[in-house]
Structure 1
């Protein structure tokens, strides 16, 4: 059992929430459960959510999407939940899938809107570009609805009528990008309060990733780390990319970890990679881009995501994944499209397009990418993560020279690289990043 200090507020659970750009997740520790001495078991909540009209399913993540149905979009009661039978909006997997068919009613990337200083973040601006009878709400309100869903599902599945076990009665650690400014952090806390969660502690995502590594290496991390070392945290998620530099220091009670530098919150991630594969495959199937209607485009993108994960992460030698896009209506079979992705194609378009081998003096391209500004968010123009990383390192080299004692500019390099985010799950992607960074300092 994990002991609480005298005088502390007593919590049954410590809950961690990752309110992500593309997906959100919730993990927890039961402080009253019997554990090995000094060690608490971290568990992931399987999140109940609508996966189709009137169909409830449990998923490891809650897709961070909100759908605002029109009067005739869905059958009556399609958005109802067991604990909210009159619910008139969708959150999660069904929201994401329905929004692919009617994108004008879909709210996405609320987290990125929270840190977009170029807009009024408390104004009802989402869905961006909404018109007609589409209701609108602020990035704060959208984020609050995701957190509200997590609170409701926790209280249904974990508390089960025990008020002291409700999520709002627990200690909640909510992660935020290190690049969030004070306004974005305050708005995140405000969103949590709107969702009924008032006992919230913010934790920067790079530190959360680092703590996760420490937990996984609890018995041996002290032998692996030394003082005055540089840790580069690369976080490439579904929708965003963040870089952080952390230094190890000798403290009064052993090593301490200081965040030295934070990069910009880049609108670039795994979703961009899936769309790139889908666009190439659409050209392969139909001869030119932009010809698939929303429903079939969503099918194609989903299958490309699956193919990417298999071909980049598979160790079984699988070289090709078949992709089938079904027709619609009375031409279900006649209009079916078939194609495929090979390991070589995925490596070319993902590794060479998003993680190319570049020199340390490379700069992100300023060439304008078409179709970006209409989305409202400041998407990056260059999809090469490695070029953004090179620029990040060079910008902060003078700071490292000041902060890291006893190491001149020639001996400054990342002693450790910590990977975080779903887009960096495939071993081939991590290997490419390691190769690129190692080449810079040979």
Structure 2
């Protein structure tokens, strides 16, 4: 960096090599160029191109650090000024603060202590203590650095600062080398468990007795719950994200069609609304395509045979007849559901939440090629048919995955999707059972 040139000539840091660029620094501070000498240097500046240029100017070692001559030198007093340009103090303070805080806090995108920066030091052969190291090497280095840090603190703080807990830090690296990761042997889970028992304290005069009594009661209840079958206990409690078989009817007959037997449990209160004719046709077409995928040669004949229900009822099942009659134009809309043990929320429902359950992905085809469609869930629709049959559809906004240049980039461990570009805006519906949940991180 060359900052040692501003130090006094006899400063000890001028002779330090390993802490800087590997060389001793004997150069003095650059002198200020004033008067006619400055004008003589500016006369040698030629072929000035204003604005940004795509060509990088390669400067030789003997070439002066000038790119153009300022027009202000035409003023008669400009050459005699001691300060011709003010430095921008505001931006200097801001950039130095960003560099220091970003590096100390390891802020992504702002830290200057990156892996590439340390690889550059290794390639230059400088600052070996900052080269990338393996975990074992790092622990050995930490084992050597902790005594040095404690000695530096001992020169600053009074002896009362160094109690037994501060001293124990010197043994942490040795313990990590012997037994490995710390999260399997620290006290945090026990502290949380004791915090739970502190809530059971009723007699503040004897808190230890209350904690012991609460522990005995909890163990007894846990043991007895292993033998209780007719009440809910911690061993037979239903899972939080459990679903139910959708489409079950009152008569107890299980539907034979997949679209009528989705494992979906709606959450919250349903709001009733009427779909437009266009959306209703697209909603019906969506689960019709699913049936066609299951049996492409039989679906049309099954729909035609449903007309014979009035003549020969035994030849047409209740499921086919219900689908042939069509759904109720008034549908139920939900803001959340649980399907196949996975929780889904609409984008509107999680607007003020810190969790995300609205990202969806569906496997399909685009221009004859298999592709994964990524989107965000906007509504959960329940279509109602005769005989208490129900079909659940997700209404989503689909991101553009057809453009590999501006829409989607598939990497090894994640997929980058441009959320500003959408596709299939006129086809928002997809069968709920075909969806999987994905997490969308905005950068």
Higher strand share: 1
TM-score range normalised by the length of the shorter chain: under 0.3
TM-score (norm 2): 0.19
Larger radius of gyration: 2
Higher relative contact order (CA 8 A, sep 6+): 1
